[in-house]
């Protein structure tokens, strides 16, 4: 009998969590087409998680066992990414969402070894600009502005 690989176990866990998310969101209500309720979005996100987990499950079950532990470079990359996310969360109230998004997206690009400085800078500036347009201009959602205002 073949053991579950860590990937298969994780995919099953995602499917169960997606079902739980969809189930819990039912109690919030869907609302109407004109005024969606708070349960509509989490319900469909939960369904998507379940759908794609079940879609991924057969390929995970057939895959060969892979080493569970990351190598030295993988651990370094993982810890740097976690550090960048912590930096993002801690400095957002101080510097504002757009500035921190610019800095952390640049850090992500460098951690993932995007060459040069022009490509990471253009990716991070484009991301920060799009976030500003999306939330501040189009959706009118106030993001933390930090010392800027």
Domain range annotation of the chain: 6-62, 72-148
Kindly tell me if the per-residue pLDDT of 63 is higher than 90. no
Backbone angles phi, psi at 17, to 5 degrees: -65, -40
Residues 95, 146: Cα–Cα separation, whole Å: 4
Exposed (0-12), middle (13-18) or buried (19+): which is 146, by Cβ within 10 Å?
Answer: middle
Question: How far does the chain reach from its first CA to its final CA, in angstroms?
Answer: 62
**Percent over 90 (pLDDT), the chain:** 46
For residue 31, the cross-strand partners are 36
pLDDT, tens digit, 9 for 90 and up, residues 83-107:
999 999 999 889 988 899 999 999 9
Q: Is the pLDDT of residue 68 over 60?
A: no
């Amino acid at each position: 009998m073949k053991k579950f690989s860590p990937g298969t176990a994780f995919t099953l866990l995602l499917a169960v969590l997606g079902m739980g998310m969809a189930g819990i969101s039912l109690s919030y209500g869907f609302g109407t087409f004109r005024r969606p309720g708070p349960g509509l979005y989490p319900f469909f996100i939960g369904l998507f998680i379940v759908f794609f987990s079940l879609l991924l499950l057969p390929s995970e079950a057939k895959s060969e066992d892979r080493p569970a532990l990351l190598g030295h470079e993988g651990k370094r990359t993982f810890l740097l990414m976690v550090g960048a996310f912590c930096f993002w969360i801690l400095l957002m109230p101080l510097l504002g969402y757009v500035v921190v998004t610019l800095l952390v997206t640049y850090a992500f690009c460098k951690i993932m070894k995007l060459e040069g400085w022009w490509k990471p800078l253009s990716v991070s500036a484009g991301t920060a600009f799009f976030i500003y347009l999306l939330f501040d201009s189009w959706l009118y959602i106030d993001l933390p502005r930090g010392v800027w205002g």
